[in-house]
Structure 1
Amino acid sequence: MPSAQVCVWHVYPEAALLHQRAAQGIERLAAEAITARGAFRVVLAGGNTPCAVYERLHDIKTAWQSWHIYFGDERCLPAGHAERNSTMASQAWLAHVAIPATQIHVIPAELGAEEAARRYALSIESVEKFDLVLLGLGLDGHTASLFPGQNYGSDSCQPAVLAVHQSPKPPADRVSLSAWRLSEARSVWFLVQGKDKEAAVRKWRSGEEIPAVAIEPADGVDVWIDAAALGENTN
């Protein structure tokens, strides 16, 4: 079945400008959500590009006490492990701002994929829609921990949070929000940079069924991308 995903592509000549504009966009969305609903509920991604954006959020003007942080996926590693997404986000940003600790909802992946998925599904059960979901794009087209050839959880009859085994990237065991749950958001942004992503982006734009196309929010997705990842010459 052809993808129903609708994309808006925001192309920047260099990665640093992408990071700056994405951070400014997050500041704007947070202000709008807090004004409208009293809270800003954002799902974080792992990876180098999101990390660079997080590092720019330290000094934005916002009501941090109204932020609620969630994670799109996590590796099944000990709590505090350097390769966990939650550790990266804490070091790059969260440890430096005044978001209440009780509003940072970490996936307890150290408990194993099944138990962590079960508990995290309960943690997000009360959230009807996230205000913003941030996602990256892997070289193979994966996003969160939804990998080619595996179950994406595209149908809402499937679990909101998936236990992932046999990941092609170590560690083999992970936890991921399903495609349908990641799609339950007012805004979904992919953050993509670098020449090494060009092949995956080409597949995406040509209509190949890579995991990233399984994210289908009602209002479409925004792709924040640098010229190198799009295969454009910036000289």
Structure 2
Amino acid sequence: MLADAQAVAREAVARILESASGALKARGVFRWVLAGGGTPRLAYELLVQANRDWRGWQFYLGDERCLPPDDPERNSRMLDQALFRQAAIEQEQIHMIPAQLGAETGAAVYAETIRNSLPFDLVLLGLGEDGHTASLFPGHEYAPDALVVPVHDAPKPPPDRISLGYGALSSARQLLFLVNGTGKHPALSAWRAGKDIPPARIAAEDVQVLADQAAANG
């Protein structure tokens, strides 16, 4: 348990750098899945200040909204502003979800993009107030072994999205959840209690949760 969102972001950066160092030493490449949201954005901004060598880093995305590429609500837009431009990441290192193609087509294309990159070294995830993670929502069924899934009728706009599926997430070497704010306390408590929400369906071996006091204690 950490003090606040700033502390969560700082600890996330430390663990990202640790994971990157281990992957680069072992395999010469660090394949990292990024998340959208305010706390991840803060972590990316701190990471740009902490890291100067991006050779060997490959960037992927956990989920995306089916909107035009220049829409400000796209996760890729936030990542471009907070990380890619600031760190001068080369375009060939960036593998964003082509959600502008529509949920089904974009999901199929991205599944082929990531197929030969699995398992990911690190996947960064958040936890929604309703218990969703990436764009996997409670009450929706997704094939348990799917690498990437089209999402329709999402309970928050836009309704159409694309998300990494349980197959890709469960195979990851490490999952790192960033959870902060009192609004996340019920979902975090439900997960701890063993409720059937999407994070509980991810069968990865190394799952770490960084939560602030508000999320942990409500």
Above 0.5 in TM-score?
yes
State the partner residue of 1:167.
154
Aligned residues: 218
Aligned match of 1:196? 183
Alignment partner, residue 19 of structure 1:
9
**Equivalent residue number for residue 51 of structure 2:** 61
Match of 1:81 in 2: 71
Structure 1 residue 61 displacement after superposition: 3.1
CA deviations on 1:65-107 (whole Å, 9 max, x unpaired) are 2110000110000002111111111111111113221110010
The amino acid that maps onto 1:205 is: R
Residue 197 of structure 1 aligns with an amino acid whose one-letter code is K
Correspondence for 1:113: 103
Measure the CA separation in 2 of the matches of 1:160 and 1:59: 32
Alpha-carbon distance in structure 2 between the residues aligned to 1:226 and 1:153: 32
Q: Do the aligned residues in 1 keep the contact of 2:179 with 2:210 (CA within 8 Å)?
A: yes
Residues 146-165 of structure 1: pairs in structure 2 closer than 5 A: 146-154=136-144, 156=145, 159-165=146-152
**Pairing partner for 2:207 from 187, 211, 221:** 221
- The letter for the 2-side match of 1:207 is G
Deviation at 1:62, TM superposition (A): 4.9
Question: Among 123, 129, 132, which residue is 2:119 paired with?
Answer: 129
Aligned partners of 2:70 and 2:77 also within 8 Å:
yes
Task: Give the superposed CA RMSD.
Answer: 1.2
The AA in structure 2 aligned to 1:121 is A
1:70 counterpart = 2:60: yes
- Which residue of the partner structure matches residue 182 of structure 1? 169
Q: Give the Cα–Cα distance (whole angstroms) in 2 for the partners of residues 208 and 86 of structure 1.
A: 31
- Which residue of 2 is the match for residue 230 of structure 1? 216
Native 8 Å contact 1:75 1:175 kept in 2: yes
TM-score between the two structures when normalised by the length of structure 2: 0.96
Residue identity opposite 1:221 in structure 2: V
Q: 1:153 to 1:166 in 2, by over 3 A?
A: same
Deviation string 1:11-55 (CA, Å, 9 cap, x unpaired) is 112221111111111112111111111011000111111111111
Alignment of 1:25-104 (within 5 A): 25-104=15-94
1:105 and 1:214 map into 2 onto residues whose CA distance is: 25
* d(CA) in 1 for partners of 2:167, 2:112: 16
Residue aligned with 1:135, SS: strand
Greater Cα offset, 173-182 or 91-100: 91-100
What one-letter code is carried by the residue in structure 1 that aligns with 2:202? I
The residue type paired with residue 216 of structure 1 is A
The answer for unaligned runs of 5 or more in structure 2 is none
Amino acid at match of 2:4: E
Q: Give the whole-Å Cα distance in 1 for the aligned partners of 2:58 and 2:217.
A: 36
The amino acid across from 2:79 in the alignment is A
Q: Please list every run of 5 or more consecutive structure 1 residues that lacks an aligned counterpart in the other structure.
A: 1-10
Which one is further off, 197-206 or 135-144?
Answer: 197-206
